[in-house]
Structures are given as structure tokens and as C-alpha cells.
Amino acid sequence: MVMSSVPAAFHPQTACANGISVKHQCPPRRKHPQPRGRASCAEHARGLFSNAGLKCSRRARCAMIASPGSSSLWLGGLRKRTFDHECFPRAPGRARPRHAAEHDFEVIDQADVYDALRQVAGTPHAADILRDCWRRGDSDARHIYSVFPFELDEFQKLAIKYLTEAKSLVVSAPTGSGKTVVGEGAIWLALASGMRVFYTTPLKALSNQKFFDFQAQYGEDRVGLLTGDTTVNREAQVIVMTTEIYRNMLYAAESGDMVGGIQGAMGVVDDVFAVVFDEFHYMNDKERGTVWEESVIISPPHILLVALSATISNTMEVKDWFAQVHGPTELIVSDFRPVPLNFGFARRRGLDPLFEKGEKDGGGRLRGSGGLRSRPLLHSRLMDDPQIASIMSSDLKMLDKASKLRVNERGRRSSGGGRGSRGSFTDVIQNLDIILGGDIPGVRRTNYAEVPSIPYVVRALQRKDLLPAIVFIFSRDGCDRAAMEVLTENDLLITPSEQRVLRDRVDEFLNVHPSLVNEDRITLARAGIASHHAGMLPIWKSFVERLFQEGLIKVVFATETLAAGINMPARTTVISSMSKRAGDAGHVLLTTSQVLQMAGRAGRRGKDVIGHSIFVRTAFEGPLHAYYLLTKGVDAIQSTFTPSYGMVLNLLKRRTLEESRRLLEKSFGHFLASTASSEKTKKQLKRQRILETFRKAKELLQTVSSSNLVRYQKKREQLKAEIRNLEYMKSGLEKVRQLDIERDLPFAPRGSLLRLESLPSRPRLPSKQSRTEALDYYVDVEDLELEAALEHGLGQSERRSCVSGIFLGPYPRQIAQVPYFAVIGGDGNFHFVTAQHVTFINPNVDDAVSSIFFENGGALANFPDPSVWSRAGRKRFRAEGTPTAKELAQHIHSVDAEAEYGKTDYDMKLAIEDQAERVGRLLAELRGMSEVHDRPDRLELIKAGRAYAALYDKYGMAAEAEANGSNEGSWRDFMSVVSVLQEFGYLDDQFKVTRLGHLGAAVRAENEVWMSTVLTAEEIQALQPQQLAAVIAAVVVDSRIRPDVFVDFELSEDVDQACNSLLYLNDRIMLSQEDRGLGFSAGVDKLEAALAENWAMGMSWVEFMSRTSLQEGDVCRKLRRTMDALRQIPHLPIVSESLRVAARRALTLMDRFPVSDEVTYKVDDQDKARGETPESLRASLRRNRTDVGNVDGDTEVDVVEEDAFGTYNDEDAMVVGQDNFFDSASGDEDDNGDIDDSDENQSESGFSMDQDTLFG
């Protein structure tokens, strides 16, 4: 933030009770000359007052020498005020005398307040002046405008004006547009009114960053931080927190109990002026989005809500929902960027603009995503790209077929183009979604010749002065490889002076943290290059971020997590691919919102005039993909509201079942469903048709087993892929042969024997026979071809007639600009064919044929005129033969072309035969899945499955709720959760929360019932601290370690037995959830347990990492999640005292660098074992193991452990064993899974750390 200059003698500090006040101190000698003597001091004071727009009404001289910061200067209020002026010049070692002189001052003009605010804009001192204005009733929004050290944009001023009118806000603006200023305006208003403000973010890293920014802006004493791992100044006026913490705080405030580690207190949010939801579009997140929805629903009505979101399409719906469930709300929508954004496209030929010049307005905004007139024009330089040429040259009848599937907004079928537009580029642009999402020829054709290397792109950016840059690559290995390639192939990106500074900064880091980061990362950093992804140590990532912000790192290769709000703006962003892998779905195109979020990192306010975002050509993605992603329109926010165990328990603690139902009816999904039944707009009508498709697909899918359909679909897709490979191999062989034919045929001797084949006809695809036209959109050409193959046999449609003939020579004239050749067929007639018809040439002419040519060569050279030709097939003609031609026909014999070719193409032919056998096996396996395959509507089932998955994925759980037409879907889930809670004793028959239910309501985990069951299980009550850490790590729901990951850690016998016992409990909970259609995760992972136990036992970081192939960032994230779970245990109700003590000690044992550090993750001392250090605890553990080895019997072991740790059992604590919960065991837990690539910055489960009342 740009800071305005402040006069040297004007340093405001604090506020007085009845007027604006600032504290004055004379600057040090080196910055400003010291006043000498009393007269000089008086003149100095008068100069200060003059600068502040005030005048002194007393001419008396003032003798003032005192310590700094002990009195105030009145700048406002009544016309007469008293001023105690203090200066502090003194020689070192001399006593500091204190004197004071009083002066009366009067305000010259109201504008003086604005002048004073401008002088201290962007600093903590402005809050004092604002507070005085508000005390005097002068609450003008223009005061807030003046505290920013830059001129506000119109949408920012309008938003602040609405806040002064006590209205909530929904703000939608592009990344980099300055929407955060609106949240800062809410903070200034809260400080001015003497109230508090909560600033929530979705990421812990973003919370930490905002915390440090706000400390500099508002003062350290005014800003606090609450995340899952840090508490700082919890009584501050401005508190930065994760959204989960705020949601937990609301539940705790309602009940007065502990919720998520937060001790509730009635009225804890009474003095909150506003809550700012930064990155509100996270409400679309499938896993965490419900947190934002719950927070809006249960926020007290007196709190103003400020939702700051990236660009979304349904802003009006969100605003209306806010107004309905919370109170008066205004909508602020802006597409203006203070630093305009230019889009470019990188190919091997260089960097080209993506759009024609002038196709964006001054703010860098695209024209829109509506009709063609509102879309920008693709730049003419890109029109020669092979992707566009391939599509334009392909058979657009396929495009016409696909475009007819589209249902336009009026409900009529659209043919995909206007009159005369068929085959034009306009037709392509209109149907980009079908072309890029379907199987239009040429779209997925590989073209590596156009793909630039990453070092080439970086060199181009360097030449055009477009550094620093962020290059987004969607894999960790890809980031690291690209960074090393740039280091190896490119010239130095930094100047010699920057190189020296970098070397010093990196060496300073290494001196503090030796042997922490591998040598490759150090070498890269010294060259101004770095990677940034979740596999790196958090403290190193933080170091890289600081270097980049300072301009020392020139290129950062990052995964998309860097786009999620972290303040690392660059001059240029590079998007290396327009698709990414999405689990079982394979590679999918990015969404427009994802692209704009990454592109929005470009353009640094105050440093860059224009920001640049570059798309990189890939083998499968060309300029049309980039054009489509930027013009198709942004995503809408959807409801992901999902009742969880914790939410249900917290609601029922203070509400009846009916009251809880009414609260659920405030969800965004229910709001969308209710508005759909009112007056229909064009957008709502389109939405209704989509939901109708969703309903039909769901009804059809209910007629078949979902597991059987999934297996059939997977096998079908596998078969399609193998058929595609077979066709590719066959076409490759045919192309090689055809090139030989085209080269040799014009020079073949007359009389050569040819093998002719008819050209393949255009495929006649079977009818779709759809029950609804909308479902036809979800079937592609390959599906129709496969249906034809299943019905008639594979390859039946490809059979062509094959004949032999005698070559007469080229026809002297071209027909339709195509060369033709004359051949005598077996029927004795002339045949005129192209080289495409010829599949084999036998140049060995028979003697009998040679003699006929010798005797009648002239007659055979006179070909019939085209006027007497008749059509004999595709591009093939026939004419009546002469007697000589019929004589030649008698010497034609069949040609075994395959046998001849087999001599040269044996390997390729063998590979084709093997592939054909593979296809045959898969075809037989597919036909064996009779439940689906034998149904006549199997293609309809395939369409329905794809439609359901696509719509559910795009619209989230709102599709379910709206398809049901009411809130019944959410209420059904709510009652399913209630049923499970009643089964396991968390609710009684009257829906009252039991003692055990209070534990479930307080704990924060992915599955509260599972975690509460573990914490009350008898098997873990006597575990030692490091063993408890291991068990908690095993059950905390995280991405599971893949079985192919190397982990060489031993697990103690006690932990192994405890995990085996917990599997019994886990299976029962999972079966109960499955019976009710609930999918809350729960599991036991012994590999995770081994990691935590060995770390808690004190293994060094170097040795620890040598025993696993996990990346450092993954290890840190897993261990931190375990620590987050441990730190809440001492503050939970009904947990045994022995478990509380063990949890504190386990946390103390695990609190070691680099898992915890002073920058990214810090454990508060109050959460750890009091008076005990990790070294003393480990010494106790070693003594305990020695003592255990010298005694017999379990009883003695327990006594020794009690002596070593002073543990005891609380008689009032509840310890629930297996028999208390379940009667029988069943099932085994499959705990294999994938490593989550999400950033460890993500807020975990809102685990907190404080057992005292949150705000004192």
C-alpha cells in the first residue's frame, strides 16, 4: 500500500475522550534539527500547529522537555481546548525533566480534519481521528475515504457509503480489482465506532498474511489472530480468523459451551460491527462450502455481513438470499481493474495477443459472454493455428449433428448457425462448447510442433520485460522440473546487485536453518527462480513468498493453490495448460473462474501499467480453448449445505426439531428452489430445463444398480479407448501404404496388376431413440459407433469391396482438380479411379498381357470421353470396354496384397492383430455384463449417468435440493444424521442432546461421531503420550497414504493393538452411515500412526525424511493435523483427565521444528504440558520403558506409568468401551487412498487452542 508523506513533527498516537488527539514527539537529531531552548521549542510547537491547520491563541512561551508520548494535541471538538505539549531533547545520561505549558486552540475549518486524515492515511493514527469524529456525531463516509492513501474507485466509495447506512454487502469483482478495500473500510468504520470486526478467510496462510498487513495498517494493539494453530491478542478490535473459527464461535456463543475448542460466552458477538467474508466464492467448495452457508444463516442480525467474492454469475440471487435470511443487503458488482489485463497466447513461433486490439475496454474487461456481437475477436495472427485449420477443414456435418442437440434459451432446437454460416468460423465460435467437449474431428489431434518449452516462454517474457512472473503448472513434479529446465537453459534472470542480495538472504536463511532445504531449491533461489507447492516445507514457502514480493525472485512455478488469495502479485501470469487431471474423470478443462483467479494475479497496483496473462499452447489445446475459457461466462455460486453431526448437535442443543427445520429452510439451496416457483426469468427458465434433465436422468438411474452401471460404463470406456487405439494403428499403416501408392502409381508400368478397394462411405449412425432431447447432449459419436459395432459386429461397417485390375496409365486430364487413373476391371470395362482406391501395385507384368499391349497399345491409349462415363462408387467412374479390354480382363487374377505387404509390415501387422484380440476380449467382457448390456435402453442409461454426474458436479448439492422442489433433500439428510446420533447415544428419543452429545458438539473433525467414539474408547485411555499421538493420527480424516509410498517406520505393539480394536468400532459406524446414505469419512491408517509416533519419540528431521518418500510438505501437513486434533482434547467436555494430560504431553513432544515454527505454525504454551519440556518427557518415557522391563504383569505397568506421568482417572469422566456402543463386529476397513495435493494452508477443521473464554 502506498503511504502518504507525513510531516516530521506530526505523529499522532492515541485518542482523548472529547476530541481528536494526537501525540507529538520531536524527531531524532539525524532526521530533524532539535529545537534549542524554550523559545525555539515554542516556535517548533507553533509550526506543528500550523501544519495541522490550527492556530495558537496564546503567545506565551512554553518550556517543555519531557519523555515522548505522554500528552496530546487537540485537533477538533470545541473551539477552546487545552494542549499539553512535550518535547524530548536530552543528552545521553542526563535526567529527563518534565514541564508543561498550556495553549488554547480553535479549529480553523472542517476541511482541516480531512487534511489531518490524509496526512496519516493508511497508518494506525487515522483511527484516533476517526474515533473522535464519531464521538462528536460526525460520521461522514467521506472521512473513511480520506484514510486510504490513494483515491478510491467509485464502487469502493459506494460500498463504504452503504456500510455507513448499516447495510450488509455482497461485492463481486475480479481478482486484483481492490475489493479488499471494502473490507478494510468496514474495519475503519468499526474502529471509528468503537466496536469490533471479524475478518474471515478460507486459508490459514491468508489469515496470517492479513494479520501482519493489518498490524501495520491499524496498529499491533488493535489486531488479533485466531486460526487453528495460533492465538494472538484475542481481545483486539480487529480479529483475523478462518471461517471455520467464526462458525464455531457462533455455535459456542449460542450455547455458552465449548465448540471446536472455543469456549462460548453469551454476548460474545454483541459488540461486533461487521464480519468480512474474504474469498466468499469458496462457498462453492464441495467439502467446506457449507461453513460459509451456516455462518450466514446463524449470524446475529445486528452484525453487518460483507461478502467479498471473485466474479460470479448469480450475484443477484446471493444478494437476495442475504436480504431474506439476514437483513438489508446491497449488491456491488464491478468488472473494473485498476491495472488492465491483457491476454496473450504462447506458441513456438512466439507470443501473440489473444484478442484483437481494442476488444477490451480501458479497465481490461472482456466485452461479455453473450451473443457473437458481445464477444471479443480472436486475433488474426492465431487464425493459422493448426487447431483452427483442422476444425475448419474437417467434415462439419458432424458439427451440425452436434449443434442440433443444443436447446436454446427459448426451448427451440438450434441448428448451430445462421443462414449461410455453415462451415464458417462463426459456426465454430457458436458451438465451441460442443467442439471442445465432444469428439469433433481434429480437436484432440496432437500437435507437438506448436508446443513451446517453458524455458522458451520464460526467455520470451524476459526479452519483452514481462518479469516477474508466476507460471502455473498443475503438478508438483512439473513445477520442479520446469524450474530446473529454466535454470539450465536460460540466461541469468537477475542483475548482479540482485544476485548479491539474494545470496546474502539465502545464506542468512541457511545459517538459521542448516540442512533443511535440498540443494536444488537453494541453487534455484540464488538464481531468482523458485517452486511453490504443497510438497515444500511451509517455512521455505513463506521465505520464497517474501523474496518474490520484494522482487528478488523473478519466476515462480506454482500449483493453482497460489491463486487462492495469497498476496503475491506479478507482472505476468502464465497458464501452462488449460486442463488438469481430476481424479477418475481424467483431464478436464479448467473453469472460467479458475482461469480468472490465476490470471488476476497479474498486474501490480502502483508498479505496473498493464498486467499480462499468457496461455501456453499444448499438444491438445490451442487458441480456441483459451478463447472459450475467457468468453463462456463465470460460474455461479451454488449451495453445498450439508448437515453434519456437529451442526445437528449444536442446533439441537438450543432448538427443537421444528425450529431446526425452519433454520435449514434458510439455506441457499432452499432459497433457489423457492424462487424457482415464482416469476420465471430467462435464466430461471433455462435453469428449470436443466433441472428437468436432472430429474429425468435420476429417474432412469433408479431402475438399475448403480454399482453395475458404473462397472459397465468403465468397461465401455476402456473398450472405446482400445478401439480408438486399433483405429489409430490401422490408419497409421494405411497412411504409410497410401504414401507409397501415391508416389509409385504415376510411374507404374502399363499392365501392372492393381488391387482396388471402394472408398468407405460416411458412417450412418443409429438413431439415438432418446426419451428426452436434453439427454442427447451427453452422448458422443464414439458411443453411437460402438452401438453400431455391438449390434452388427465390430468392423462390419468398414467392409469394402475389393477387386483386381490391369493398369492402363494416368488419365490425361484431371477431374475436379484430382488426378485419375485408367484401369481395366474384371468385367472388361474401363474404370477411372484415384490413388485412394489403389491398395497394392504388382509391377511384374505377365507375358500375355505384355503381348496384348504390344499388339494393341494404341487402341488401349484412347480412353473414353468423360461424357460417356457412369458413376461406379465414391469418386469412381466406369465406361464400356472395347474387345481388347475384355481380352485383357481374362488375364486378371486376385492379388494377395496382405501377403505381399506382410514381408515389409510384419511387425506393424502383428501389433494390429494383438490389439484386435484385446478389443475382442473386452467386447466379450462387456457383453457378459448382462444386467446392463441386455437392456434395450442401455444407451439411455449411459446418457443419464453422464447427465447426472455433469449436473451434480456443476451445480453441487443444489441440484438435488431443487430437483426435489423443496428443502426435503436437506431435511432427509438431517434426519438421517439424527438417526445415527440416536443409535450411538448422542441424542435421546426426544431429540435432546445427551452428555455424550455435548462431546460430539464440541469436537471439530470431519466425522464428529467417529472422533468422539475414539476419544471415549476404553482402548486409548491408558496410552502413553506418543502412543496417543499415533492413534489420533491414524483416525484423523486426511488423505490416506498410497500403498506405493515408501514408509519405513515401526509401530509399537500397543498402538497396533489399539488400532485393531478401533477398526471394530469404525466398521460399525461406517455400516450405519451406509444404511442411511451418509458418506462421512472415517478410517484407521497405521502408516499415519507410525509417522506421528516416531516423530513424537524425538527422531531427527533428517533421519525422519530418509525413511519415507513423502514430500516434506505432506509430512508437515499430516503431523500438524494430528497436533490440531491433540490441542483440542484438553478443552473438551467429559474426556478423562488422563487423556487430557496425555494430549498435552503428546503435543509438547510433537512441537518441534520444522513441523512447527515461528512463522507458519506456532503452538501456544498454554496448550502444552505445563512445566515439562520435550526432553524431560522423553527421559520419563525411557525410564518408564526400563521400569516396565523389570516388572511382571499389567498392574505393575499401570502403576509405573502413573508414577512416571502422574496420570489418574477422573471418576466423573465418561469412558465408553466397545460393549457400550455395539453388539457385534463386522467388515474390514479399506484405508487405502490418495495423497491430497491441497495446500497445507487450508483451514483444517477449525481446531482451536483456548480453554478460557475466547474474549476474556
Write out the H or E segment, with its range, that includes residue 73.
strand 73-74
Model confidence pLDDT, tens digit, residues 582-639: 766 667 888 888 898 899 888 887 788 899 999 999 988 888 889 888 888 788 888 8
CA distance 424 to 417: 9
Give the mean pLDDT of 232-249.
89
Model confidence pLDDT, tens digit, residues 1001-1034: 999 888 999 999 999 999 899 899 999 999 999 9
Write out the H or E segment, with its range, that includes residue 554.
none
- Where residue 166 falls (left for φ over 0; alpha for ψ -120 to 50; beta otherwise) is left
Specify if 515 maps to a domain. Answer: yes
Model confidence pLDDT, tens digit, residues 806-847: 888 888 877 767 788 888 888 888 888 888 888 888 888 888
Q: What is the model's pLDDT at position 1071?
A: 92
C-alpha dihedral (743, 745, 748, 750), degrees to nearest 10: -160
Residue 901 pLDDT grade (very low, low, confident, very high; cuts 50, 70, 90):
low
When the pLDDT of each residue in the chain is averaged and rounded to a whole number, the result is 74
CA distance 203 to 233: 19
Specify if 903 maps to a domain. Answer: no
Name the residue with higher pLDDT: 577 or 1172. Answer: 577
Specify if 842 maps to a domain. Answer: no
| Total-model pTM | 0.68
Quick one: 604 and 552 in the same domain? yes
Give the mean pLDDT of 298-324.
91
Q: Where do the H-state alpha helices sit in 581-681?
A: 592-599, 623-631, 645-654, 657-664, 668-676
Quick one: 48 and 193 in the same domain? no
Quick one: 76 and 159 in the same domain? no
| CATH number of the structural domain spanning residue 491 | 3.40.50.300
Q: Are 984 and 1009 in contact (CB under 8 A)?
A: yes
Quick one: 128 and 193 in the same domain? no
Quick one: 180 and 274 in the same domain? yes
Q: Is the pLDDT of residue 544 over 50?
A: yes
Residue type at 723 in one-letter notation: I
CA distance 328 to 314: 18
Q: Is the pLDDT of residue 999 over 70?
A: yes
Specify if 734 maps to a domain. Answer: no
Percent of the chain whose pLDDT exceeds 70: 70
Q: What is the model's pLDDT at position 586?
A: 66
Quick one: 1163 and 1029 in the same domain? yes
Q: What is the model's pLDDT at position 374?
A: 55
Domain final residue pick, 292, 318, 336: 336
Q: What range does the domain containing 249 cover?
A: 152-336
Least confident of 894-903, 976-985, 1227-1236: 1227-1236
Domain count, the chain: 4
Specify if 752 maps to a domain. Answer: no
Specify if 391 maps to a domain. Answer: no
Least confident of 46-55, 533-542, 780-789: 46-55
Q: What is the model's pLDDT at position 1200?
A: 30
Sign of CA dihedral 693, 694, 699, 704: positive
Least confident of 700-704, 778-782, 1153-1157: 778-782
Q: Is the pLDDT of residue 1241 over 90?
A: no
Quick one: 1084 and 1160 in the same domain? yes
Percent of the chain whose pLDDT exceeds 90: 26
Q: What is the model's pLDDT at position 392?
A: 64
Least confident of 562-576, 721-735, 1154-1168: 1154-1168
CA distance 564 to 553: 20
Phi, psi of 796 (to 5 degrees): -65, -35
| CATH number of the structural domain spanning residue 1082 | 1.10.3380.30
Phi, psi of 1162 (to 5 degrees): -135, 130
Give the mean pLDDT of 18-36.
36
Cα dist from 356 to 359, 369, 457, 1247, whole Å: 6, 16, 21, 51
Q: What is the model's pLDDT at position 860?
A: 72
Give the mean pLDDT of 84-102.
33
Domain final residue pick, 336, 370, 390: 336
Residue 75 pLDDT grade (very low, low, confident, very high; cuts 50, 70, 90):
very low
Partners of 818 in beta bridges: 815
Q: Are 651 and 613 in contact (CB under 8 A)?
A: no
Domain final residue pick, 631, 657, 687: 631
In Å, how far from its chain's centre is CA 951? Answer: 19
Residue 1184 pLDDT grade (very low, low, confident, very high; cuts 50, 70, 90):
low
Q: What is the model's pLDDT at position 260?
A: 57
- Three-state SS for 242? strand
Residue with cell 459506494: 158
CA distance 487 to 521: 11
Residue 503 pLDDT grade (very low, low, confident, very high; cuts 50, 70, 90):
very high
Quick one: 457 and 315 in the same domain? no
Quick one: 612 and 486 in the same domain? yes
Quick one: 131 and 157 in the same domain? no
Model confidence pLDDT, tens digit, residues 747-765: 888 888 888 877 665 544 4
Q: What is the model's pLDDT at position 982?
A: 94
Residue 731 pLDDT grade (very low, low, confident, very high; cuts 50, 70, 90):
confident
List % helix, strand, coil for the chain (3-state, nearest 5): 45, 10, 40
Quick one: 458 and 326 in the same domain? no
Q: Is the pLDDT of residue 18 over 80?
A: no
Least confident of 782-796, 935-949, 1060-1074: 782-796
Q: Is the pLDDT of residue 264 over 50?
A: yes
Q: Are 755 and 839 in contact (CB under 8 A)?
A: yes
Q: What is the model's pLDDT at position 922?
A: 86
Preceding amide of 468 cis, omega within 30: yes
Quick one: 166 and 307 in the same domain? yes
Q: What is the model's pLDDT at position 267?
A: 66
Specify if 1167 maps to a domain. Answer: yes
Specify if 827 maps to a domain. Answer: no
CA distance 1060 to 1090: 14
Least confident of 71-75, 761-765, 1092-1096, 1121-1125: 71-75
